[in-house]
Amino acid sequence: MSDRGSRIPGPRLIPRRLKLADPGRWPIGFALGVVLLAGFGLLALAPIVFDLPAPDEMDLLARLTGPSAAHPFGTDHLGRDVLARLIGAVPVSLGAALAAMAAILAISLPWGVVAGLAGGRVDAVMMRLADIIMAFPMLVLALAVIGFMGASLEASILGVAAAWWPSNARLVRALVLSASHRDFVRAAHLAGASRIRVVLRHVLPQVLPSLAVIISLETASVLLALSSLSFLGIGAQPPTPEWGAMLNEARPFFAQAPHMLIVPGLAVTLAVLAFNLVGEGMRSLLDKREPYRW
């Protein structure tokens, strides 16, 4: 959760990007991650195509039943179809993670870019402010924010965003700093490009590949945090279908109905895994150092 600094490769020159067309370079893990993500995308669309019971439709006569033809993943303690709830949770769980990630980027991108380009005192002040927030363990800070706002999915998104953005801003700053010291960036400024143009046309394109890696890995960690909070009962509130919240509801019954435990947990794991695999795959593409072998 906290060792991200070394995992992110520095900006690379563009010629390396040309090699991406070579399919042999794409690792299996990356392909698996993309397939998983696409699978979740299709799953979210499933209710439009197939006729599924509503996620909160109760059938009190069929409580805690195991997998059957009518209910492929069984039913929960209120007789709701676990598959329907699982699918209904895709937009909630993934949507929350993407919303949190968007909020994190909305703060950390401008913060990191301005600090990295301004340098000097502005940079120092901005980074000290980020350090103050980073002095708290991330999940602890998120808990505190939720504590002050009151438990809800929105509060948990804001709490996670508030706790996660500073480390993100640090990474962005480091990337921008090394990208803006390239000869061609300074050359473009001397040759007449305005500051805005230098940033948009010469600095950001360098940073984008590494940024994609960061975003993918961060989304994985944010998704994990948000579903943990929902599991603790201080994120998504029942009856909203959300994977972590589903597991929380399953806790009293999991000796009788283990299927309630397996399915949502697997969903969280696979979604987090997908983002991690995509991030790691892109990273290994960018990082071409070859170690010496014995």
Partner 1 sequence: MGIVPEPEDIAALRAEFGLDKALLQRYADWLWRALHFEFGTSVATGRPVMAEIALHLPATLALAASALIGAIAISLTLGSLAAVAGRYTGAGLRGLTILLVSVPSFWLALLLIYIFVLRLGWARLVGDGSLTDLVLPAITLSLAAGAALGRMVYERIRAEMSEDHVRLAIAKGLGPLQILTGHIAPRIAGPLATAWANAFGGLLGGAVIVESIFGWPGLGQLILQAIAQRDFPVIQAYLVLMGLIFFATSLAADLAVILSDPQLRRRLGDE
Partner 2 sequence: MLTARGLSKRFHGRDVLRGIDLTIAPGEVVGLIGHSGAGKSTLARCLVGLERAEAGEITLAGEKVVPGKGNTRQRIQYLWQDPTQSLSPFLTATGAIMETLAGFDIGPRAGRLARAASLLETLGLPRALHDRRPHSLSGGQCQRVALARALAAAPQVLILDEPLSSLDLATQVSTIGLLREVHADTGLAMLIVSHDLAPLRQLADRILVLDASRVVEDLAMVDLACKAKHPLARAYAATL
Q: Please choose which of partner 1, partner 2, none residue 193 contacts, taking the beta carbon within 5 to 8 angstroms, the exact cut-off set by kind.
A: partner 2
Q: What is the DSSP letter of 254?
A: T
Nearest to 175 by CA among 223, 208, 138, 139: 208
Question: What is the distance of C-alpha 24 from the center of its chain?
Answer: 27
- List of residues 6+ apart from 60 with CB closer than 8 A: 78, 79
Closest CA to 230 of 144, 165, 161, 152: 152
Identified binder of partner 2 from the candidate list 1, 124, 187, 266, rule CB under 8 A: 187
Query: H/E element holding 195?
Result: helix 195-197
Helix axes 204-231, 259-286, angle to 10 degrees: 160
**How far is Cα 27 from Cα 283, in angstroms, rounded to an integer?**
11
Q: Reduced to 3 states, what is the DSSP secondary structure of residue 55?
A: coil
Question: Pick from 2, 15, 120, 128: which binds partner 2 (CB under 8 A)?
Answer: 15
Q: What share of the chain is helix, strand, coil (3-state, %, to 5)?
A: 75, 0, 25
Nearest to 288 by CA among 53, 84, 16: 16
Please, which residue, 5 or 10, has the CB nearer to partner 2?
Answer: 10
By CB under 8 A, the residues from 115 to 174 that bind partner 2 are none
Closest to partner 1 by CB, 73 vs 231, is 231
Work out how close the CB of 206 gets to partner 2 at its nearest, in angstroms, rounded to a whole number. Answer: 8
Q: 77 vs 189, which CB is nearer to partner 2?
A: 189
Query: Which CB, 18 or 49, lies closer to partner 2?
Result: 18
Shortest distance in whole angstroms from residue 196 CB to partner 1:
36
The piece of 50-58, 109-117, 132-140, 175-183 that touches partner 1 (CB under 8 A) is 132-140
Nearer to partner 2, 3 or 183 (CB): 183
Q: CB-wise, 41 or 137, nearer to partner 1? A: 137
- Select from 184, 237, 251, 269 the one that contacts partner 2 (CB under 8 A): 184
- Binding string, 230-269, against partner 2, x = CB under 8 A? ----------------------------------------
Contacting residue, 108, 206, 227, 240, with partner 1 by CB under 8 A: 227
Which of 183, 143, 177, 193 has the alpha carbon at shortest distance from 11? 177
Query: Which secondary-structure segment (H or E) carries 118?
Result: helix 82-118
Which residues, 189 to 208, sit near partner 2 by CB under 8 A? 189-194, 197, 201-202, 205
Which residues would be at the binding site for partner 2 (CB under 8 A)?
A: 13-15, 18, 182-194, 197, 201-202, 205
